[in-house]
Every structure is written in C-alpha cells, then in structure tokens.
Structure 1
Amino acid sequence: MKIASKLPCMISNDGNDREKILTSLVCTFPESKFTEKDQDDIVEICLMKHLYSPLRVIARELDEEDDLYNERDPRMPPLGSRVNQGRDWAMYRQERHGPGTVVGHSKEVGWLKVEWDSDAHVIRWHRYGSTLSETDKYEVKVCDEPRILQNESIATGCLVVRGQDWEWGRQDGGPGNIGSVLKVDDNGVILVRWKNGNMHRYRFGYEGCFDLQICDPFSAESIQHLKDQMLKAALYYPAGDQSAVKEAVVDNTLETSSETCDKSEELGEKKSCGYKSSPVLNVSRGKYFKNDTRQDRTLSDTETDGCTVPVAMKQWLWQDKTGQWILFPKETNEKINMSYKRDQKSTVVAFIGDQAYRIVMAKNIQINLKTREIFNVKLVTKE
C-alpha cells in the first residue's frame, strides 16, 4: 500500500490501466524487484484507490447525525430521488441489487448517501460526479423504480401526500403535491422532502395521527413524479447513460404552465395556461429529430422522413477578469442550450475548472456558487 500510494498514476489519473500502473512502478522504483503477486496486489490497490482515500472521512462523518438529510449540491439528485446502479458501479459492490433512495449530500465533494431498499436503515456512500481524487465517477443514476413495501407500513423512498390529520399549511407547496420519505422513526414520525425543497417531520402513527398518506406507486401522478426527477438529474449525468429519461421529456414540457395554472386558480385569477405561440407537435412513435454536425460547423435537425429544417449554431461564451471572451466547452454549451430552449428565463449550473457557476441566461451573467463573483456571459448565434 505504501508503494502504491507513491505511484504518480495514483494522483494524475484514475489508475485504471494495468500496463500504465506497472510502467509507473518500474519508473518510480527502478532498483526494486517485485514478484508477480506483489505486482497484482499493487495493481489491485491502484484500481480500487477510491476505497482508501475517503475512509477516515466516512468513519468520522457517519457519526454526525446533522450530516445526514442535507441537500448541499445542486448538481446532485435531490434528496428523495430514486437511484440504481450507475455507469461506474464499483466491482466490490456488485453483489448489491435493486433501487434505493438518496438521503443526503456529503460534505465531501462528489459523494452522496443512499439507503438501499434491500438494506433498510443502513446508509451507504456513493460517488456522483468529481471527488477530490477522481473525475466524473457515477456509481448511481436516477431511475423511476418506485418503493414497493413488503411487510412495512411505510419506508424510505415512499411517495406521500396530505393525509386526514394535515395541519401544516402550505409546507408541501399546496394540495396534491407529492413528497418523498427520507427517514422513518420508530415512534411514528417520518421525515419528508417536498418538491419545493422543504423538508419537515410529520406524524405517521404518532399519537394516533396521520398527517400524510402513501401514494399508489403505480398511479399516473407517482410515475410522473419519478420521471420528473430523472429529467432534472439528466442535466448533470453523463449523456447517453439514462435512456429512460427520453420518455419523461415530453411529459415534463407542460410542467411549468401547469404549476402556473394551479397557482392562478388558488388565487382566484382567470388566466390562460399553456403555450400561446408554440403549438404542441404530436410526434408518432419512431419519429425523432437528430442533430448532424457538418464540416462548416452548422447544425441541422433532420426528421426520419427526410424533411430538413436548418437551425442556427448557438455558442455561449463567458468573459474573464481580463475582459477576454472564452468559449464554453462543447458538453457544457449543449447543456446551456438545452435549458435555454426549454425556458429562456431559467438558470443552469456549469463548471469552469473546479469552480461551479450558476448561469442566469435572462441577465447574461454567471455567478460563482462559492465566491459569489459575477461574470458576463453571452450567446453568439451563427447563421
């Protein structure tokens, strides 16, 4: 372990190439001899280095109750999101199976906490994003698998709405809104995270009162709630790894106008809800749009029946402290354009180096989430 910790490949990259590890070993210790068994052990340690670096942190923080059930990082799935094995699921956890529920964001960057359905009341740590020692590691991904109760009356991951004894005003955001159970105490009290981000404890059997009732996991509302979570998580998850998200995109397009309509009705206002200028296109199964990148760096949307609709190439730039305009990377630019197309007044989180920024497209600015510095951004459209 001491020898493996001194290898440059343990620091400079993921150390997932056996030949690279052995080459690094020879170059670092040219005078030493290692048996084949020693080499195998060193390679294994390098491949599993993420198990070693955070152990002290995990042991310390799991003892802190206030570190659980905290939502710290906007790039991570919100608490209550349902997850399953992701792209970088670690080999030592291959025996695990079935979905779980996100119950916390760690103080350590790039780690979140999951309670798996098959391991109730046990909190596991998993990588989601870039940690202090590794880049873009996703052990879990958001899924739409509901929490199915076995012999429990309620459990972490269940979806709930107002019950017969509700007396907590609009903590839930309004009647009919769905929340996710994060914790179930033995005394009949549960912790719930609502869609609006509020987290509160409620009675579920405590002194015979039930503030909440469980949703049917297969109802249309429950299924849509899970798909909405998947859609939001897809903005930060590696592209192409969450195919099920595609099914949620169409259903989610009317979410904003529906929420506005609900609020207007509650206030007694008569407002027209929905899209006034953009009609909804009914696309039959099998029809889709595809982006082609051409040599002249323009884009086109091509439908499968051969109809071509040219569109403009949209490139976002940001201005550094010297006044120089810098291009956003391709993947980040696509993420910004996706949000811009959905709602030009929305915001999106992007990364420049190791810093996270919230881009406010309506004001053409980006805000450093840590230092709160503000930089200009702009959209360049090339016809």
Structure 2
Amino acid sequence: MAGMAIETPAPGPSTDGSRPSPLPYDALLLYSFGGPNKPEDVVPFLRNVTAGKGIPDARLEEVGEHYYGFGGKSPINGQNLALKAALEAELAARGIDLPVVWGNRNWEPYTRDAVAELADLGAQRAVALVTSAYSSYSGCRQYREDLALTLEARGELGEHGSTGIQFDKVRSYFNHPGFAQANVDAVVEAYRELADGTGAHLVFVTHSIPLTMEAASAVSGATYSAQHLDLAGVVAERVAAELGHPVEWTLAYCSRSGPPSQPWLEPDVNDHLGELARAGTRAVVLSPIGFVSDHMEVVYDLDTEALATARDLGLTAVRAGTVGTRAPFVAGLVDLVLERAALARGEDVAEESVGSMGAFDSVCRPGCCRRRDGEDSGVPALCSTGLYT
C-alpha cells in the first residue's frame, strides 16, 4: 500500500538468530534494460535507447523490424517478471523478507517508476541487481548513471550521493559459481541434443561493444572481453568433464551497431561460423554466455540470423539456453545479495568466484566502466567511490 513503511528489524547477522539477513537492505531493485510490449512501443523505446545520437525515426523504424517480426513485443519483459518471481520464491524459501521491485532504463517500468515504488514502500536502503553479468559501460556504469540522474530529477541527489533512498549494487557476477554452473548445465543439455556431439565446436557468444568501451572496461579489473574469455574457459572445461570428451571453443560477438567506421569487438558470430565451416567444422553449439535471458539479441541475432547462417553453411547447429531462471543462477543471485549485505554490515566475507580473476568490486573504482577510456563525461554515477568518479 502506498505510504506504508517497511518495518526494519534491528541490525544483526540474522532476523531470528538462524536465518540469513539482508540487512541493512530493506528492498531489492531488479534493474534491467527494458523492451517494447506492443508495436506502438517500438520506436519510442528505440528513441530512449539511442537518446542523444540524433538518429531519425525512419532509421529507427528499420531497426525496429527485429521487434515487429515478433509482434512488436520484446521477450525481455516477461523474462524479467519470471526472474523476479524466481527471486521472490528463493528469498521466501530461505525465510528472507525482502521485497523485489523491477525497473528498467529504457521502458516501463522505468527507473523513476521503480524508485517511486521503493519510496512508497518506505525503503531506506536498497540493493540493486542488474541483469548484466559483466563489467562495461553498457552493463554497469550506464545503469548507475541512470539511477543517479533519476534521484537528481527527484531532488534527492546531494554532493556525495543520494539524500533519499540509499543504493548499493551487487558486484558483477560473470564469474560467480551460480552463473557459471547454470551456463555449464545449459551447454551440456545442448550437446546432448546432437546425435554425435563429440566433434561439435562450442561458440560462446556475447554482445559486441566499441573498442573504446572495451578499453575503458579494464578499470573494473579486466576488460569486457577478458571477463568473457576467463569464464568461457571454466565453462568449457567443466562441460568437457561432464561429457567425457574434449571441447574446442571460441568466443564470437553479435548485435554490433553504430557506423561501420567505428571499430567494435570481433569476430561477428556469422563471419565466425563461416570460418569454422571452411576449416572443416561440421557441427556447432552456440552458447549465449553474454546474456542472462532469451531477449531480442538471442532470439533474433542467434535463433534467427546465426542459425540461418549455420544452415546455409551446412553446419549442424544447436543453441544452448541462457541462464534464465535456472536454479543455480537464481540461488547464486540471492547469495550475492546476502554477500553484499554482509559487506555493508562490515563483516568479513568469502566472496566466491571461479576462474582466475577473483570477485570484482561491489563499490566501483574511480573511472570504472566509462564510455571511453580516460574520458570523464561529467555524469554522476551511484555505487562508486565518488559520485563523479
């Protein structure tokens, strides 16, 4: 009910002496990209995504054909609602009372809607969980900027941060055991769909980003591409162990945009499939390791375009599932929320990770994940060592 305050128990390791505690947090913000719900939403949604770039509506209509081909509706919203329900169920199963509020950068419910809902709940300190596992401008800092600008519009942004609801964030979780295991399970299932998967090449796929953004992501602890490569090695090794045979793998990219003159991470997945076919590969498994759910970049760029490319090349191809609402992933997200809560309480925490990089920072470093390396945009961003760093 609007205006009803959340009753917050006294701080401590648990609320009843045995249950894990989310304190000091009294709400969880599930924070995502957003997507259109109907054809009339497509161009306004794309205006939001491309704001400030001066792209005419005629071009946005062309880009929107991807969405119109699916009835003008993005699958991401339904998947976020499913993830929200799964998180609520996992929290309840552990006896944790923590309301989950969903908000998006680019469509309804917008960040401003989510913050207003949190305020109506009486939340005082919330933890944000972004539906992007990796550190980069588009996967981390852009969300933190949008949250800061939303608070500024509400008159709740002071010199050192929020003067209203306090926000922290869960660390980038690409190398958390739950995310890794959910990807392993999905890839193993895909291999078992093949009549003979022993020679199938594993192609991990993620969203491409400009090389300027790639360089800037290094401040987080490792570049965006290096984060993927580190996790991919872990997943491939575990998949090979479960299948009982070696697995050759590579990393490719999808969904590049912008002018052709601007360099982005390569190879494009379609070009890469051609390279594999020419080298004698006959079967591939595509693993969308860069994505949390089957949203448009997966169902169009992979299920439509890449699988069509594979057919044209004579390749047998199977697309592995995303982590979605798989149990290891959902449980891992709740573990991350509790880990962040313990850190906020000043406790010593064993931050779990796989691979060679260790856990990334929960509080972002100065200059972390800027759009361009070394370039200060002057836009405030929450959850960092300083509002403008």
> Could you tell me the TM-score, scaled by structure 1's length?
0.23
Bigger radius of gyration among the two: 1
Which structure has greater helix proportion? 2
- The TM-score normalised by the length of structure 2 is 0.22
- Greater relative CO, 1 or 2 (CA 8 Å, sep 6+): 2
Q: Which has the higher strand share?
A: 1
